[in-house]
A and B are shown apart, each in its own frame.
Chain A
């Protein structure tokens, strides 16, 4: 996952609860293809994609300002 994490197109990589499963967030929608290609090249066998949930979008655009209030 270090190689994925190092990509400028990847905003964040987080480990999921299930061992061996990770979640990579591309910085922009158009980066999804490149990230998927890299994952396949590295031998990842199971990939799923999903759009962000509203809560994730909200936290992304508002940041941690909500914590200050």
Chain B
């Protein structure tokens, strides 16, 4: 296995209960997880499982209550700005664009925020607009772009700093199937280009299609991790073809195996 670039160890995150004096809500309950360099790792789980909390902690947006996490070898608590420059995060249904300004100007703005000079910024913006398939719409205001295009622009914005790890939190939520397909193709290209991608999704087809490895969490705990290569992608419909079903099958994690029934 390649060197892990994301390592979470016994992460715990509590939120204050409501009303205030009630028991705290435990979003992550001692969760440990690792993602190898260059891996496209899918994180699955029901609503409220702790997926977004984990992504927020790993991307330095939120502090853990206890436990530790390192991304690219840096502690997410102490890594601060140095780490933030090396990672990108895209949320589904994100609204963090200047909608009356063109796609290009949005990217130029973010390039300036990352300290690129004018020429570098223009070159980077052009490269990214082409990469996400928006070169022909580059000078239109964002408000005229479709939701799928806007989401691709979000991704481009997060690539301005040339991150080594990208966190995608349900990035295709609300996209129509064609737009979702285009977005997935982009994500695959990023992985093929060597980027480590951490993707949360509710879409099993998306996870099966894209991910090298998946983890399932619930109630803030890891239930299982598996290579998608070991999970059957399509059940044979007819015939008597057989293949070994005993090798490399998934297994739930021992200590957190859900109780039967």
Q: Are A58 and B204 in contact (CB under 8 A)?
A: yes
Interface of A is mostly: helix
The residue on B at minimum CB distance from A45 is B240
Cβ of B80 within 8 Å of any chain A Cβ, yes or no, is no
Measured between C-beta atoms, what is the minimum distance from B46 to chain A in Å?
Answer: 4
Across the interface, which residues of B come within 8 angstroms of A62, CB to CB?
45-46, 216, 218, 223, 258
Q: Which of B204, B239, B241 contacts A54 (CB 8 A)?
A: B204
Contact A54 to B228, CB < 8 A, known contacts A61-B223, A62-B218: yes
A residues near B (Cβ < 8 Å) are 29-30, 32-33, 46-55, 57-58, 60-63, 65-66, 69
Question: Can you give 29 A-B contacts (C-beta < 8 A)?
Answer: A29-B245, A32-B246, A47-B240, A48-B236, A48-B240, A48-B242, A49-B245, A50-B232, A50-B245, A51-B230, A51-B243, A51-B245, A52-B232, A52-B249, A52-B250, A53-B231, A54-B204, A54-B207, A54-B228, A57-B226, A61-B216, A61-B218, A61-B223, A62-B45, A62-B46, A62-B258, A63-B258, A65-B46, A66-B47
Besides A46-B239, A61-B223, 12 more A-B contacts (Cβ < 8 Å) are A32-B246, A48-B240, A49-B243, A50-B232, A50-B236, A52-B232, A52-B249, A52-B250, A57-B224, A62-B45, A69-B46, A69-B48
